[in-house]
Amino acid sequence: NGEFVVKEVKKSIVKSHALPPFTTSTMQQDASNKLNMTSPMIMSVAQHLYEGIETPKGHLALVTYIRTDSVRVSQEAQDEARKFITEKFGKEYVPAKPNFYKSKNNSQDAHEAIRPIDITVTPESLKGVLDKNHYNLYKLIYDRFLASQMADAVYNQDKVTVENSGYAFKTSGKTVKFKGFTAV
C-alpha cells in the first residue's frame, strides 16, 4: 500500500567475451544440450567430419582432430578467421589483438582446439550435402570457433533499486550496444 520510490539508478557498460573453441568434452556437452545427441552419436558424427565426407567437389575433411583438451589455435587459423570476419562482418568485429585462450594446466597440448579446417567452408555451403546431424554439429563447431576469434559484445546495463514500506526491490537489465561475437 506504500509508495514506490526509485532510490538508485546505476548505468554502466559491460563487455562479454566469447567462449574458447571446443575441446572434446566441451563439444560433447554443448552438442548434448543444444542438439539433443548422445555422446556416442556426437563422437561418431565428429569422426566423420574429421575423416571427411564426399561432396560434389570431392572428399573433404571439415574439422581438425576431435580428441583434444587444448583450446590453442594455430596462428594460420587465427589469421584466416580474422580475414574472414573482416570480410563478412566488418573490421570493427575483429579484436585489436587476436583472442588467446588458456588450456587447463593438466591438458596435453599436442593438438589444437576443435575447429573448421577451412573457415571459408561455411555450414550454409554444405546444406544439402550433409545430413541433419552432421550439418548441426559442423555448424556448432564452426560458429563456436568463429565467435571465439571475434571482438567482445558490449552492453548498456541499468541497475535500479526501488523502495516501498522499508523493502528494497532491485532489478537490472541490459541492451546491446555492439553485437561483437554474438553476431554469429
Rounded distance between C-alpha atoms, residue 97 and residue 93, angstroms: 12
Q: Which one of 50, 65, 101, 135 is the catalytic residue?
A: 65
Q: 65 catalytic, yes or no?
A: yes
Of 75, 69, 74, whose CA–CA distance to 105 is shortest?
Answer: 69
CB atoms within 10 A of CB 83: 13
Residues recognised as catalytic: 65
